[in-house]
Structure 1
Amino acid sequence: MSKKLALFPLLLVLYEIIVYLSNDMYVPALPSIMHDLFTTSHLTQLSVTTCFLGAVSMQLVLGPLSDRYGRKPILFGGAIVFVISTLICAFAPHIMTLLVARFFQGTAVCSISVAGYAAIHEMYETKQAIQTIATMNSITVLAPAVGPLLGSLVLLFGNWRNIFELLAVLAIVVLICLFRKMPETHAHSQRHPLKLRLVLTNYASLFCNITFLRHTLIFCLLFSAMIAWIAAGPFLITLTYHQPPYVFGLAQVFVFGAFIAGAHIAGRLIHTISPHRIVHHGLIYACVGGILSAILAYCFSFFLIGFVLSLMLFTHGAGRGFAVLSRQAIEASQQPMGTTMAVFSTIMSGFGVLGSAFISGFYNGTLLSLAAFFAGVGIIAYLLHQTDRTRTETCHDTAK
């Protein structure tokens, strides 16, 4: 593989981290923004929500566009919007300007998940793609782990506007390198006409594809649980257990460290055992971790360390399964890559919202309510995968 192609995934994941840091570094600055823009806490917190809305708004549009015009124009069109909106955030004179800019800032996630990852899947064969995506996943989880700390450091020596200025400069530098190294993986001869009826037919086919939906749903269930932890963890540790905020940061290191270890192991195992077995083993970890967390929360509600250790089992299993599940979902589709990635990332974003909604609905401030969510997710994900295993074995027996 040429050096140019080897650098592309690294540069893409660096850009992806910068996009995620626009939210993770930003959170510690919310009180300062409320003060400087003379606004309310509700409107200030709404700026986080609008960014998430932007991140779930454009996939179904960008997918067919990338199938028609290629991956590179879509990715860099989104990148230009990200840089401009980030600079507008840095110089926003009032809260409404910030809210609008934050929405467009969030749309960068759509172009990355659709066009960027479509290019990765098109570049590599199955095993190499899984190994590459596993490595990328292990890097991107650093954003929620270190983002708040980095944001706090910027605030220590500057102000909230400096966060956006720094991100804009970093994005420009990385994007210049990415533009030079990113190949156009979708050749002109393979491009699809942009016809509404064809687009709707492709989307309908994907939503009727049971195998694609099964792999996607397993992935998204695990993802929703991790989002739920990110959202509920700070409240659980600081309010329920009356621990200082740095304890949550320390827990994040262990929880996401377990995920990184799982992703790394999956990248190594893909050359020795089947993808199906990697996912199966990962889901056993996730299921056992979820059930164990519920048992400990019920019997020893004061035992926070036990819950974190159980959560590490869960995230380790998720790390083992993420890259393989995403590739299996893609390979189950016969539709164009951009369209397939659009549906996959849209469902993923929807489950991310579901994980966040859990905080306001099911979670009641107790350890047991959070642990029960993880247990439920682990069990459902495992059973979904078992239905695929049973179907495969039945097909093999019939063939014999």
Structure 2
Amino acid sequence: MQKISVLTRTTLMFPLALVLFEFSVYIANDMIQPGMLTVTHEFGASAAWMASAMTAFLVGGALFQWLFGPLSDRIGRRPVMLGGTVFFILSCLATLLSNSIESFILLRVAQGMGLCFISSVGYAVVQEAFEEKAAIRVTALMANVALIAPLIGPVAGAFMIEIWPWRMVFVFIAAVASLALIGLARHMPETVISRAEKLPLIQIWHDYRAVFTNHRFLMGALCIPLLAMPLIGWIAMSPLILVADGHLSVVEYGFWQIPVFGSLIAGNLVLARQVDRWRLGNSVKLAWYPIGLGIVIMLVGAAFLDKPYFLVAGISVIAFGEGLSSAVMIRFTLTESTISKATAGAALGIINMLLYAIGIELYKLFYLHAGMMGFALLSTVVALVYWYLSRGVVRRAMLARVTGHGVTI
């Protein structure tokens, strides 16, 4: 199929439907965060389960990444994406039957599987259907819409939990996902030709081996979760930091998320606006400065004032840098592999979700043992590793585009 280079109302209908599904999956995590104290109290569980619930969600996002991408290569992107959307809706509604913290955690794993379909199928279609700069612009714009979830999710969740039982949050999420299902069914293009032969498991193994032994791909794939790790750690730990330890109300907790995710959206908007003017990769280099500044703010605040507001300020500045970098780094990483973009996207998703889950548990450990200084120190280590790896990724990608020797999609 001919790649789309011009964004119109018609060509944007599929990305809008996809991002509505992405939004519903994200708010499945964000809207319940202010209610996690209520959930743990109802089930008689300790507050430590609050962060573990998000870990379970991310583990679900990694479980079947390896399968859904290759499966969509065989039977088509549309049936896998639509089936995944239906599964996510049912897993949200099943929360109405949850009666223990263990069953709740299992459902969090099932709901997290919605992430598999976004990265290994949905975003693969975006990369296949749009030409490079259009794909980056669409990815950045989609990120802005999806990031409304963590921006309004905690606030909306806090107000909803004040009025209704916490399970109604998941009924609302299922309703949003149902609207996305209708849009995907009407507007999602099919970018592969389905094949009648059986799924070649040995070929799947060879494809994944080729992806995971591609060192250039791995370097880019590691950069993406490292870039987002401080923000992911904040999302997981902020209910404990602000509500349990900071004694803020759940509504106040929600409002303190606004500068963080507002900064992330601002970074994405700047990227979407400047992508035609900047040489690809320059935004990643520019983003190193706000990321470094955010780390300094957190370290100074934790060392001298020990107030959570400095973590909010530092994470907000880091989030702006993430917004400038994320869409470009995703594109750079996927273009390092000649294997099917669904398989490469699934491999990227597996790495992301596993590192996010590990990162959350590390942030929990560091915070419980060293407080806000522990949170700031772990963020410093993560940012330094990201800076070291991203230099090579950007250098290689920019050189490939100058010489014309890079992998294209």
TM over 0.5: yes
Alignment CA distance shift 1:98-1:238 (3 Å)? closer
Aligned to 2:351: 347
Work out whether 1:225 is the aligned partner of 2:230.
yes
1:31-110 residue pairs with structure 2 within 5 A?
Answer: 39-41=43-45, 50-92=56-98, 98-110=104-116
Q: Does the Cα contact within 8 Å between 1:283 and 1:381 map onto a contact in 2? A: no
**Cα distance between partner residues in 1 of 2:232 and 2:144:** 16
Q: Which amino acid letter does the alignment assign opposite residue 347 of structure 2?
A: V
Q: Deviations over 1:58-117 (max 9, x none)?
A: 101112111111211111111111122222222446666555444322212211221111
**Cα distance between partner residues in 2 of 1:360 and 1:34:** 17
Alignment CA distance shift 1:263-1:153 (3 Å)? same
Larger CA deviation: 361-370 vs 16-25:
361-370
1:393 positional shift = 9.0
Q: Does the Cα contact within 8 Å between 1:254 and 1:312 map onto a contact in 2? A: yes
Secondary structure in 1 aligned to 2:12? helix
Larger CA deviation: 94-103 vs 158-167:
94-103
Work out whether 1:290 is the aligned partner of 2:262.
no
Aligned to 1:360: 364
**Cα distance between partner residues in 2 of 1:319 and 1:255:** 11
Larger CA deviation: 259-268 vs 26-35:
26-35
**Cα distance between partner residues in 2 of 1:158 and 1:66:** 39
Larger CA deviation: 273-282 vs 22-31:
22-31
Structure 2 regions of 5+ residues with no counterpart? Answer: 1-6
Alignment CA distance shift 1:169-1:392 (3 Å)? closer
Q: Deviations over 1:329-383 (max 9, x none)?
A: 1111100111101100110101211221123322235322222222222222122
Aligned to 2:19: 13
1:183-332 residue pairs with structure 2 within 5 A?
Answer: 183-188=189-194, 194-238=199-243, 243-298=248-303, 300-302=304-306, 304-332=308-336
Aligned to 1:158: 164
Alignment CA distance shift 1:128-1:164 (3 Å)? same
Q: Does the Cα contact within 8 Å between 2:14 and 2:187 map onto a contact in 1? A: yes
Secondary structure in 1 aligned to 2:339? coil
**Cα distance between partner residues in 1 of 2:223 and 2:12:** 29
Q: Does the Cα contact within 8 Å between 2:59 and 2:357 map onto a contact in 1? A: no
Q: Does the Cα contact within 8 Å between 1:294 and 1:368 map onto a contact in 2? A: yes
Alignment CA distance shift 1:388-1:301 (3 Å)? same
Tell me how large the CA RMSD over aligned residues is: 3.0
Alignment CA distance shift 1:97-1:352 (3 Å)? closer
Aligned residue pairs total: 394
Q: Does the Cα contact within 8 Å between 2:154 and 2:253 map onto a contact in 1? A: no
Q: Does the Cα contact within 8 Å between 2:60 and 2:110 map onto a contact in 1? A: yes
**Cα distance between partner residues in 2 of 1:243 and 1:204:** 48
**Cα distance between partner residues in 2 of 1:87 and 1:327:** 35
Q: Does the Cα contact within 8 Å between 1:223 and 1:351 map onto a contact in 2? A: no
Alignment CA distance shift 1:379-1:94 (3 Å)? closer
Work out whether 1:22 is the aligned partner of 2:5.
no
1:53 positional shift = 2.9
**Cα distance between partner residues in 2 of 1:99 and 1:163:** 16
**Cα distance between partner residues in 2 of 1:336 and 1:183:** 17
1:304 positional shift = 4.8
Secondary structure in 1 aligned to 2:63? coil
**Cα distance between partner residues in 1 of 2:263 and 2:253:** 15
Q: TM-score with structure 1 length normalisation?
A: 0.87
Q: Does the Cα contact within 8 Å between 2:280 and 2:398 map onto a contact in 1? A: no
Work out whether 1:375 is the aligned partner of 2:380.
yes
Larger CA deviation: 372-381 vs 239-248:
239-248
Structure 1 regions of 5+ residues with no counterpart? Answer: none
Alignment CA distance shift 1:392-1:134 (3 Å)? closer
